[in-house]
Amino acid sequence: MNRNRRRNLTPPPTLRGKQVEFAEMRRTPKDPMVWVVTLWINGWPHDIKMWAKDELDVFKQVKELQRGAHNNVS
């Protein structure tokens, strides 16, 4: 039933070495564990879906994206 659910919510692997800035986050109405995060990547806004339980978890994942140490969003 939930096959490939997390695989579809991962950011592209091209974020390494690019400037990533956090803009905003919002929870999806259908699933409270899925967050839509707006990031500015090299000056362009991008909406990325993230699997997180709360705001702190989203901020941790964004911080890892900014460091370039994040391979997979969980």
Structure confidence by residue, pLDDT tens digits, 21-57: 889 999 999 988 999 999 888 888 989 888 899 999 9
- 54 in any annotated domain: yes
* Token pair for 68: 């370039």
pTM of the model: 0.66
- 72 in any annotated domain: no
Q: How many helices (H) and strands (E) does the chain have?
A: 1, 3
Whole-number pLDDT of residue 57: 92
Q: Which domain holds residue 24?
A: 7-67
Region 6-32: what's the mean pLDDT? 73
- 73 in any annotated domain: no
- 74 in any annotated domain: no
Residue whose pair of structure tokens reads 């969980």 in the numeric block: 74
- 41 in any annotated domain: yes
- 2 in any annotated domain: no
Whole-number pLDDT of residue 37: 92
Q: In whole numbers, what is the pLDDT of the chain averaged over residues? A: 77
Whole-number pLDDT of residue 70: 52
- 17 in any annotated domain: yes
> 49: closest CA among 19, 5, 1?
5
Is there a contact between 70 and 61 (Cβ–Cβ < 8 Å)? yes
- 1 in any annotated domain: no
Q: Any idea how long the chain is?
A: 74
Distance of CA 36 to the CA centre of its chain: 7
Number of structural domains, the chain? 1
Region 2-17: what's the mean pLDDT? 55
